[in-house]
Amino acid sequence: MTGLPLYELAITEKEGKSWLWDPIRKRHLVLTPEEYVRQCLIRFLSEEKGFPLPLMSIERGLTYNQLAKRYDLVAWDREGKPLVAIECKRPTVALTDETVRQLATYNQKIGATHLLITNGKELVFFGKKADGTWAQRQEIPDFESLVAGG
């Protein structure tokens, strides 16, 4: 699958740093390469795939093997069930089996039916099949299709 569209994000300068607005957390954040990828993904999912912003959460904690971890982004369905677990990497980080495994490990606690990982240049999407195995998909369906079981 190709990469994310690169969006023109509103960036402001303050205290010698670049900041951008996060529409989910409703506050300005320091601009980092990973945050730029995350914000482009949020725009893509909301504007082009119809994912409602109120049904997304960012960097919440979880415990895995007695270790405190944080997931990057989760999109929820309307009933509050995890729909897509998402991992964002900076553009210089290659998407490897190891990075996919990291997301799959987090998803053991999250329980989403879909996985998405991106570094901005590449985007990989998986869906859980009826037999419990995972299959890479060529396209990211829109929100309505995913909640309908697509």
Q: Tell me, what CATH number does 15's domain have?
A: 3.90.1570.30
Residue 39 maps to a domain: yes
Number of domains forming the structure of the chain: 1
Strands of 4-148 (E only): list them: 11-14, 17-22, 27-30, 56-58, 61-64, 67-70, 73-76, 82-88, 114-118, 123-128, 134-137
Token pair for 144: 């309505």
The band of 10, judged by pLDDT with boundaries at 50, 70 and 90, is confident
- The whole-chain average pLDDT of the chain stands at 90
Residue 97: count other Cβ atoms within 10 Å of its Cβ. Answer: 8
The tens digit of pLDDT for each residue in 22-55 reads 999 899 999 999 999 999 999 999 999 999 999 9
Give the pLDDT score at 80. 94
Helix (H, G, I), strand (E, B) or coil at 117: strand
Residue numbers of the domain that contains 119: 11-147
Residue 2 maps to a domain: no
Residue 6 maps to a domain: no
Residue 116 maps to a domain: yes
Interatomic CA distance for residues 50 and 44, integer angstroms: 9
Of the chain, the percentage scoring pLDDT greater than 70 comes to 91
Cβ–Cβ under 8 Å, residues 114 and 128: yes
Strand partners, 128: 134
For tokens 């482009």, what's the residue? 40
Helix (H, G, I), strand (E, B) or coil at 2: coil
